[in-house]
Chain A
Amino acid sequence: MIEVNGICKTYGRGRKASRALDGVDMRIGPGMFGLLGPNGAGKTTLIRILAGIVHPSAGTLHVAEQNLATEAGRRAAKSVLGYLPQELGMYLELTAEQFVDYMAILKGMDDRHQRAQRVAEVLKMVALEDSAERKIKGFSGGMKRRVGIAQALVNDPKVLIVDEPTAGLDPEERIRFRNLLVRLAGDRTVILSTHIVEDIGQTCRDIAVLSQGRLVFRGTPAELTEAAEGHVWSVTTTEMVEPRDGLTIVSMLHLSDSIQYRFVGRSIEGHPNAQAARPSLEDGYVWLMQSAKARKN
């Protein structure tokens, strides 16, 4: 459904040029797809390229069988695309219903009755049917995100792209939002871009990790977790441990008379009482980032 071949993106020219993406290749099929990476890894650039907003400097891209290199292809792809950007700007004076209706018009849904029916449907899907006639300016962050999802879904998209959708949401809203995305992924491709590892682990079967514009991992969450096997340790000590090169403290728990550390790294020299621990997805991610950084240096 989505084919990305050798995508590069450079911003600026000459000395000021900065490469946001460097030869990214991937194929994405139906279901939930997670795009993970630290801030500045190039996730938003890739997401905007997939949404047809940013043009790649090199490479080819097909979304829903449409070639995004042409204006006609971009327009055709956009008509079957739902997009929720990281910074969601809205018309706060409109009601939720008006906003979704307006976005439906912009997406080319001209039939008024069909549109009204679909707007009501998507507002119900995001549990906003009771607030449909309220102005967006009175909504909480979570409600605004749900309006954002409703507008993204209004054209019944084949591809739904959401960029950092849970940023700023409280834990309950985050869980609700994740569950909603999983439900929506049943018959379409949903691309979830985030730096929150937990969100990916709870929702995606297929993931990719970007670091400094390069694709550094492609596989399942279980494979990413397994990659950290033998590189995670737990140390319980009464002394404070200073972080050192090649070893990341992923957690630190104060017990009644000691501190329990969790480390990820190549080796655990200098900590004779260290015990090997079972890696989590987050450990796998940290190990991957460490390895990518070491390779680059």
Chain B
Amino acid sequence: MFFDLLHFGSGPQAVNYFVFCLAGVLGTIQIVAARYSRFDLLWFEGRLGYAFGALTVVSSFVWFFLTDQEIFIPGLAGGELFTLFVSAFIVAIPTTRVVTFAAARVRAFAVAPKTPAREKEPLI
């Protein structure tokens, strides 16, 4: 019933807004993960995590407001904006967890000490 009331229009604005929200949520999660040492969500450790998150959030705002030409004409209403934001949140969480898992594996592989090759033992 709720979804019957939604009108996303024919232009790219709904897609643009979804991408804007997705990038914003991903960046916000990285800032919080860096601030509270949430290693289950963190992509980059230390200040790099903050910087990456902040840059992602700021870039998403700049990109959306510089490229979207339909901001000052009637477009998406509250219901559509809510639905797109929640959809972006739902996509962002598994994306964050998958990238976190991959990043942890890459870090573990990079710092793992190389075991010296065992010398061949004489057969006799």
A and B form one complex: no
